[in-house]
Structure 1
Amino acid sequence: MEFLMALLVFPMTSFLFGIIGQILARKIFVVVGTTFCVWLVATFTIFNESFLIWVFIYSLFSLIGALMVEFVGKSKYE
């Protein structure tokens, strides 16, 4: 079950947070930084240190989601 969450649920949550966060905050680094901080806190409170590599991967998914919204928004107004 944990493996399924690490490979499907958590990345999708990070990606959706990147999309929604970019729509609300309109700052890519705020969205990605928030995602990173939340997963980093979860690493040391819920999971163990081996989860740290997933923190970077989930932050990357959040960055991808935020960049997609950024590019769609810019192309919409051009």
Structure 2
Amino acid sequence: MDKNDLPAYTVGQLALRNGQDKEQIWVAYQGIIYDVTSSRLWRDGKHYEHWAGQDLTTELEEDAPHNANVFDKYKAVGILK
């Protein structure tokens, strides 16, 4: 699916997909929202010091031990507007 075909979500809508308010666990990176629900590393909406339901671009670019390819295995479900 082309990212231009993805639905747009607000920051507020993303925030609800934190693994606690709704079952979905989503995170955004560089404007794309990924569904990480299936990852055992994101149980309960937390992955080390990172919380789901938010844009992680700044956090990951500053101090993550991996690069953007980490999201290649997850489905892009939307764009952050």
Which band: TM-score by shorter chain?
under 0.3
Give 1 or 2: higher helix fraction: 1
Q: TM-score, normalised by structure 2?
A: 0.24
Q: Which is higher, the Rg of structure 1 or of structure 2?
A: 1
Give 1 or 2: higher strand fraction: 2
